[in-house]
Amino acid sequence: MKEKTFKIGGVEALSEVSDYIISLREEADVIAFYGSMGAGKTTLIKNLCHRIGVTDEVNSPTFAIVNEYVTEEGESVYHFDFYRIKKLEEAYDIGYENYFYSGNLCLIEWPEMIEPLLPEKYIRVEIQHGETDDERIIDCQVVEE
């Protein structure tokens, strides 16, 4: 299992984390971001999207559930926020499998809400608050079930 932990002191250090996650892209297209409210999931996703050439504005799709962004190369990137769903059927209703198995990058906030639907192989990114307001501990690993 590939795994790496980063201890960063602020948003300026996110590019190193993003670059590592991008390097795992050959392992899986689905990236699940775990962390409490305010931990920095959306901030990391914004940085990651910037690093891969997304030109659209990146915002958490809290009410839309999924946003589609396009990279400079014309590739679609899907950004999910499952915080507000109440049951798995809502993920079926949006056709989650069409996204997760599309071969396009899928970035998921609040994956714990749809965990049974995650593919057998995905990248798990867990963000925890550190000792200071700006510090974060970010654990990245490829999960195979």
For the stretch 65-111, pLDDT in tens is 999 999 999 999 999 999 999 999 999 999 999 999 999 999 999 99
Residue 145 confidence (pLDDT): 82
Residue 1 confidence (pLDDT): 61
> Mean of the pLDDT values across residues 45-65?
92
Domains of the chain: 3-144 (3.40.50.300)
Report which of 83, 138, 137 is spatially closest to residue 112, judged by C-alpha positions: 83
